[in-house]
A and B are shown apart, each in its own frame.
Chain A
């Protein structure tokens, strides 16, 4: 049972990132491979603030803001100009890959090749149903649940959410229906960037020690969760995160732990072979 607890905490962090990533992809049409690098940079922003004596829970707000600002800037200065020129989607993928490297190496150049930790307590250890979690990990799970509920409410009950869904479904038709698609896209970059910043800081809190390269493999896990759930489907990303999180940790408990990612990706491949559109995707 401890591994189920570990899987839940991994899934909680992954879900925040995967939902942000998939919403961004669905609405903006950009498969932003720089997402994980922005997470790291936002985590370092929180670190710098935390080093001045500010509580990490207050620095969390700065991390969210940093994620939003960097994402909006990235779209405004990089992705949008390419999109306006009619660049092919694969071109944008390569551009985003380049941005990921620029951000990672840029962060590395600033902070050096060191691992850092926040000044914070992990809290007491809580044991229940065979699981072992700290109070901080329980807070992370709670944050994740609140974010998932918030995303659900946003998409289902608000005008903005409906406009996002419409823009994702058919941008041209959304425009013709009076939706200001460019504004919706800009807001989406800010919102998903905020989720990216939040994912960055909860990731860093969870792993307890991080460096500029820490999210390298996490990006792969994000992609796995997104594609397992069905690209562009926020609920699918939540489900995908849960499956990937549990699969990696539970498998590590029963087989040699260096195979844990192998197991996760075998599940992904098997799933896509049976259902190419992902768990919640629909054929078009």
Chain B
């Protein structure tokens, strides 16, 4: 058989260049790169997010989220929202004469990659006013960093630690993960499922659902029959699928993004004699990428028939919804990573709530008449929660017009009214979503606060 090649001599080729020559070239290259890096750093530092950006300078909103790795579908969703919102803001004259642009920082969904990505963002982005994104994958590591740079962030993380730890610049318009676990349990109850299997990814963002779900399932009197942790880097989940099928659950609660859930669902269907087991997903499953991958893996009709997910109540009509959808439709096909049925973005939590966050921040700057964060920060809650006598506005343009008239405003976007608590959380209320076979999101019911309390341990 073939032998180990360790003993073979290197292939003969052209003679080596002399060492001093290569050393000189190497030293020159390193020196040139260092000089370029130093110049870049100096130039960017001189322009970085100084308080109160100069007149006319373009302000930057940064999408800090995974654009690669297993959760790579998240960043592009937020980018659609960012591009749509900033485009609408610019069309309405910008913020105090400043245009707004989006930039991105790819966290790869890993804290180890996220921290340097954010560090790089702060050293290179000019007039950085707002960060959006920060999913549960990286929030714990990047939120303190962003906060230390006195930069406002609207985050998508649902981690419960942010319910009781105060970060001055941290805002969240999505519910804590434990509330989503309760909502999924209520969906199972509503649909009459008794035996539940859990299949969550081994990433931070997915694992935060597991313990609250186990507790809520017990409180609701349902039976937990399987609990599988899915390694998101694994190639197949046949053994996990077999265990789940053997446990005969009525439904599977799951969040395993990337190709994990599509692969798992396909394998479950295969091992279950070609029949899908009903799925209850988290709000992260309301995304074009998730639908597209699952529909292809198990068949669109089958997936649509067997899938439910919790989602925050979002508008499906009215002035806020119209302004939001027009903003997004204006940039349809103009950002990378757009896939599937575009209307799914109108219900995707990452698109809806970050759009609201950006409008809140932009209106806060206008109301404060300053891009100095120290001045506009307090206006976020004022405009979100509304002061007595405030008129409700449904878009940035409406808000600016009202402010120009000297009116107090309350912004209410497609994500509904906000009520910020002491930790800047505004969790909202839940609805139940399904998909049509063409990938459009269909609202099939609502979850009341009383129902959530009933399953809360």
Which residues of chain A have a CB within 8 Å of any CB of chain B? 2-3, 6, 9-10, 22-23, 25-29, 83-86, 105, 108, 112-117, 119, 122, 125, 132, 134, 155, 164-165, 168-172, 181-182, 185, 203, 206-218, 221, 230-236, 249, 252-253, 256-258, 260-261, 277, 280-281, 284
Contact = CB atoms under 8 A, between A and B. Distances in A.
Given A117-B296, A134-B270, A213 B258 contact: yes
Given A165-B1, A217-B234, A125 B273 contact: yes
B202 to A, nearest CB: 6
Contacts of A284: 4, 6-7
A115 B293 contact: yes
B236 A206 contact: yes
Nearest to B269: A122
A256 B226 CA distance: 11
A23 B239 CA distance: 31
Given A112-B76, A114-B337, A280 B1 contact: yes
A25 B228 CA distance: 37
B179 interface: no
Q: Which one of B238, B243, B263 has the greatest number of beta carbons of chain A within 10 Å? A: B238
Contact of A117 (B11, B229, B262): B262
B210 to A, nearest CB: 12
A155 B2 contact: yes
A233 B296 CA distance: 39
10 contacts: A3-B238, A86-B16, A114-B73, A169-B8, A203-B235, A209-B293, A213-B69, A249-B238, A256-B229, A280-B1
Given A114-B337, A171-B8, A256-B229, A235 B1 contact: yes
Given A212-B72, A252-B239, 8 more contacts: A10-B238, A22-B2, A83-B13, A113-B68, A132-B270, A216-B233, A232-B4, A280-B1
A89 to B, nearest CB: 8
Given A115-B289, A280-B1, A260 B239 contact: yes
Interface of B: 1-11, 13-14, 16-17, 66-76, 202, 228-231, 233-240, 242-243, 258-259, 262-263, 266-267, 270-271, 273-274, 289, 292-293, 296-297, 336-337, 339
A233 B420 CA distance: 64
Given A3-B242, A257-B240, A112 B235 contact: no
Contacts of B9: 171-172
Contact of A257 (B69, B74, B233, B239): B239
Contacts of A221: 235
A48 B400 CA distance: 47
A163 to B, nearest CB: 11
A165 B337 CA distance: 46
A210 B6 CA distance: 35
A147 B350 CA distance: 46
Q: Which one of A132, A155, A165 has the greatest number of beta carbons of chain B within 10 Å? A: A132
B11 to A, nearest CB: 5
A215 B70 CA distance: 11
A168 B5 CA distance: 6
A247 B321 CA distance: 53
A253 B8 CA distance: 43
A28 B296 CA distance: 39
Contacts of A211: 70, 72, 258-259
B235 A217 contact: yes
A217 B11 CA distance: 32
A37 to B, nearest CB: 13
Contact of A132 (B5, B73, B271, B339): B271
Contacts of B66: 113
B263 A209 contact: yes
Q: Which one of B2, B75, B76 has the greatest number of beta carbons of chain A within 10 Å? A: B2
B72 A112 contact: yes
Closest 6 interchain pairs by CB? A113-B72, A84-B13, A252-B239, A209-B262, A115-B293, A117-B296
Contact of B1 (A215, A216, A234): A234
B293 A257 contact: no
A25 B262 contact: no
Contacts of B68: 105, 108, 113, 212-213
